[in-house]
């Protein structure tokens, strides 16, 4: 089994954008920045145009302001290292020769640092704007102000983009080498696609008044019913579907402990060896007892990042 290169950060935590937040109220600067900027168009399903590259990576298709939809709100995302202002608009996608339509879930891991940060931010803002056209306080219609980072109703009440914190944890046995095992579960709501059952890390939202660490202990206890013996923070990334911040952890537990599943959350959970996980990544794993084909989460997810770092021996 080969050891993968250690991924330094989760795929959607990468960015080179200077968000230039102090410029969001500077209307004169914003007008000038729009005129010389580049625009990412995101459709109502959160997809954008991308171009595939010979090396297997992908790049976002950006358009000039003159080619962007004129009647759409435009949101200032930041300035790239070359000094180019970058914007986003929510509108039907334009046609571009050689480009294809893709979601952040599909290609986030294939983008370079600039485009990963750009698409992640644009998708998060698009989801927030789409669900906050009216003020929950007054019921009045809202409009985008401050370059798309605030929505304001006619009475002057402001709303800001919200982020919902969630935890995600890869539980493993702490054993080094091929015999080490990790615990993955299948969510009861996930469909079996093309005969393949997807397994992933345990996750859940952090409740009011709760720390992230306490949420990990609670969620693992609720979903699979086992205690943890250690817990280590591993990193975070935005998951703009619609607006979460995923706080990732590695944890250890006794694989001999009895699993007590909450069937409304997890309908199956199993311990997998590193060899099993390597085969899942290669796409050719069939469970020897059940005969079920199994897969892992998408590569743009922090779940895959946690699993990959454990596979390479970098988890604690």
* 13-30 confidence digits (pLDDT tens): 999 999 999 999 999 999
Q: Which two tokens stand for residue 68?
A: 């962007």
Q: How far apart are CA 259 and CA 224, in angstroms?
A: 5
Q: How far apart are CA 242 and CA 161, in angstroms?
A: 11
Q: What confidence score (pLDDT) does residue 7 get?
A: 62
Write the DSSP assignment of 247-260 as a string of letters.
Answer: EEEEEE--TTSPP-
Q: How far apart are CA 313 and CA 316, in angstroms?
A: 8
Instruction: Decide if domain 11-131 falls under CATH 3.90.79.
Output: yes
3-class SS at 204? strand
pLDDT class of 8 with cuts at 50, 70, 90: confident
In this prediction the pTM is 0.93
pLDDT in tens, 200-219: 999 999 999 999 999 999 99
Looking at the chain, the domain(s) classified CATH 3.90.79.10 span 164-311
**Is it the case that residue 2 has pLDDT exceeding 80?**
no
Q: Which two tokens stand for residue 122?
A: 């644009």
Portion of the chain with pLDDT greater than 70, in percent: 97
pLDDT in tens, 78-106: 999 999 999 999 999 988 899 999 999 99
pLDDT class of 3 with cuts at 50, 70, 90: very low
Q: What mean pLDDT value characterizes the chain?
A: 94
Architecture of domain 164-311: Alpha-Beta Complex (3.90)
Q: Which residues contact 185 (CB under 8 A, 6 or more apart)?
A: 199, 200, 201, 202, 223, 224, 261, 266, 268, 269, 270
Q: How far apart are CA 226 and CA 208, in angstroms?
A: 23
Burial of 84 by CB count in 10 Å (0-12 exposed, 13-18 middle, 19+ buried)? middle
């Amino acid at each position: 089994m080969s050891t993968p290169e250690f991924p330094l950060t989760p795929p959607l935590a990468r960015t080179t954008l200077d968000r230039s937040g102090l410029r969001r109220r500077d209307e004169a600067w914003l007008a000038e920045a729009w005129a010389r900027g580049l625009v990412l168009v995101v459709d109502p399903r959160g997809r954008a145009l991308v171009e595939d590259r010979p090396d297997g990576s992908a790049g976002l298709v950006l358009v000039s302001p003159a080619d962007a939809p004129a009647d759409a709100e435009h949101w200032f995302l930041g300035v790239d290292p070359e000094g180019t202002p970058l914007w986003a608009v929510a509108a039907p996608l334009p046609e571009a020769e050689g480009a294809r339509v893709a979601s952040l879930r599909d290609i986030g891991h294939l983008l370079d640092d600039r485009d990963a940060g750009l698409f992640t931010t644009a998708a998060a803002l698009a989801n927030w704007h789409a669900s906050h056209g009216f003020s929950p306080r007054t019921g009045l219609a809202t409009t985008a102000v401050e370059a798309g980072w605030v929505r304001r109703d006619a009475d002057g009440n402001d709303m800001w983009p919200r982020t919902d914190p969630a935890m995600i944890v890869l539980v493993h046995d702490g054993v080094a080498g091929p015999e080490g095992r990790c615990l993955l579960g299948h969510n009861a709501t996930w469909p079996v696609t093309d005969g393949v059952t997807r397994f992933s890390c345990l996750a859940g939202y952090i409740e009011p008044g709760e720390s992230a660490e306490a949420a990990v202990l609670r969620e693992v206890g609720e979903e699979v019913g086992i205690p943890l013996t250690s817990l280590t923070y591993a990193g975070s990334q935005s998951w703009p579907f619609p607006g979460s911040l995923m706080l990732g952890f590695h944890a250890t537990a006794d694989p001999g402990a009895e699993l007590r599943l909450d069937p409304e959350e997890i309908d199956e959970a199993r311990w997998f060896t590193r060899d099993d996980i390597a085969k899942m990544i290669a796409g050719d794993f069939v469970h020897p007892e059940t005969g079920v084909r199994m897969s892992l989460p998408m590569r743009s997810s922090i779940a895959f990042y946690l699993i990959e770092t454990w596979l390479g021996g970098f988890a604690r």
